[in-house]
């Protein structure tokens, strides 16, 4: 019996592959290798004989061209890890048949409900079968849905050898969720002319713009003195940190922004009187505005140093990735191919900027133009994650359609 995209997805999500940003190993967690080894074996069973897991946990494989198929080599990429934002231990996926538009009880005992009042996008999928968790873990559609969709598309192509296609390259990466997914990606070995990450959200999403991204670490240094004799002596690093945070515009936080609007996102704070450390994600689609945001963080620190002393506040900035649009625009045809394939499959393309990043952002700057396609999932990284089954099936169809369109174009040019 042929395995469906749903069958594969349900198998993959039950494997805990959370990455760990505090780890210095590659991959950051050994448990990611469990899925990597499984996928390499399944790829070999599908006839991709060179499938292997390298020393860094990357799975790579080749599906050779068939029937004299020509055209550029296309890469297909998804990541194996799930977010450390929410537990992924013992994921229990549930299928809800023929969603009726009401609330979905994820966990009756804990009274966890997925409601269209909170997530109105649910109403777009009335009548469809949805997959959720039991409300105690994330689901892992980001990005095991992408993995399952690529694997299912490969199986379909192998089952239909009469349909010509060119050479396809496959990669499944570790540690994308902690920003390291492209750190050890061997673009030269991969050997594709361009690629697609299958790592997007709802049906029809097509993305080739993403944030410019940096991590800011703000260290506030204080002076601890017994509170009974602290007048004009104590400098409370926690208070300095709060003063620093108050200098950042409240309207430019993630919860108040959308579309192309950038933000400062406080993700962690640890402190005491002597020392307090704040960590911020800095994001903007516009490169000039991105640089201005980083400059503002430094200026805010300089202002507080005038007040509290030259060692009171220090800012360390580390750029994480840049907007792939700069690298995709010169080869815009890779976006047009995806748009054509979606329309041929009855899917309305929804071209939008990514309010985040993908492996494709960094890979594009490494010489591999890589826009992003939808998986069908919603509410990633939390207990309310869900994915409609028809959206997953359409993703498989779009992947196979792109390969066929490229082969057809190449065949016409060669005549």
Residues labelled as active-site residues: 81, 176
Q: Are strands 350-351 and 205-207 parallel, antiparallel or unpaired?
A: parallel
The residues, any chain, with a CB within 8 Å of residue 108's CB and separated by 6 or more, are none
Close Cβ partners of 166 (under 8 Å, ≥ 6 residues apart): 65, 69, 70, 71, 72, 73, 74, 403, 406, 407, 410
Tokens representing residue 277 in the block: 């450390």
CA distance 20 to 18: 7
User: For residue 12, what are the contacts with CB-CB under 8 A and spacing of at least 6?
Assistant: 35, 140, 144, 147, 148
Greatest pairwise CA separation for the chain in angstroms: 89
Determine the Cα–Cα distance for residues 48 and 315; give it in Å rounded to an integer.
48
Q: Are the CB atoms for 340 and 405 separated by under 8 Å?
A: yes
- Looking up tokens 């990606």, which residue turns up? 185
């Amino acid at each position: 019996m042929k395995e469906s995209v749903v069958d594969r997805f349900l198998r993959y999500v039950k494997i805990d592959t959370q990455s760990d940003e505090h780890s210095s190993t590659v991959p950051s967690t050994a448990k990611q290798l469990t899925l990597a080894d499984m996928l390499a074996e399944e790829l070999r069973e599908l006839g991709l004989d060179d499938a292997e897991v390298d020393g860094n946990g990357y799975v790579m494989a080749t599906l050779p061209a068939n029937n004299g198929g020509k055209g550029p080599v296309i890469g297909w990429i998804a990541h194996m890890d799930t977010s450390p934002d929410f537990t992924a231990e013992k994921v229990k996926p549930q299928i809800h048949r023929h969603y009726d538009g009401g609330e979905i009880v994820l966990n009756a005992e804990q009274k966890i409900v997925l409601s269209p009042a909170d997530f109105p996008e649910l109403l777009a999928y009335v009548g469809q079968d949805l997959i959720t968790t039991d409300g105690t873990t994330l689901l892992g559609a980001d990005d095991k849905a992408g993995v399952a969709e690529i694997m299912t598309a490969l199986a379909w192509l192998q089952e239909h050898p009469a349909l010509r296609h060119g050479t396809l390259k496959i990669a499944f990466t570790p540690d994308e969720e902690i920003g390291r997914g492209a750190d050890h990606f061997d673009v030269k070995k991969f050997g594709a002319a361009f690629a697609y990450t299958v790592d997007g959200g709802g049906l029809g999403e097509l993305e080739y713009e993403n944030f410019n991204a940096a991590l800011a670490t703000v260290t506030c240094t204080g002076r601890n003195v017994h509170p009974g004799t602290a007048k004009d002596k104590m400098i409370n690093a926690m208070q300095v940190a709060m003063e620093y945070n108050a200098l950042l515009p409240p309207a430019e936080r993630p919860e108040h922004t959308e579309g192309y609007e950038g933000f400062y996102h406080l993700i962690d704070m640890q402190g005491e009187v002597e020392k307090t450390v704040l960590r911020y994600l800095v994001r903007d689609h516009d490169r000039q505005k991105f640089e201005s945001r980083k400059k503002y963080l430094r200026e805010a620190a300089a202002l507080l140093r005038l007040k509290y002393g030259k060692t009171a506040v220090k800012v360390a900035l580390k750029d994480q990735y840049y907007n792939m649009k700069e690298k995709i625009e010169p080869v815009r045809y890779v976006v047009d191919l995806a748009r054509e394939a979606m329309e041929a499959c009855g899917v309305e393309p929804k071209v939008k900027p990514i309010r985040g990043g993908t492996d494709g952002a960094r890979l594009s700057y490494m010489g591999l133009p890589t826009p992003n396609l939808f998986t069908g999932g919603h509410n990633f990284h939390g207990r309310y994650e869900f994915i409609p089954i028809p959206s997953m099936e359409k993703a498989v169809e779009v992947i196979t359609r792109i390969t066929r369109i490229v082969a057809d174009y190449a065949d016409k040019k060669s005549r």
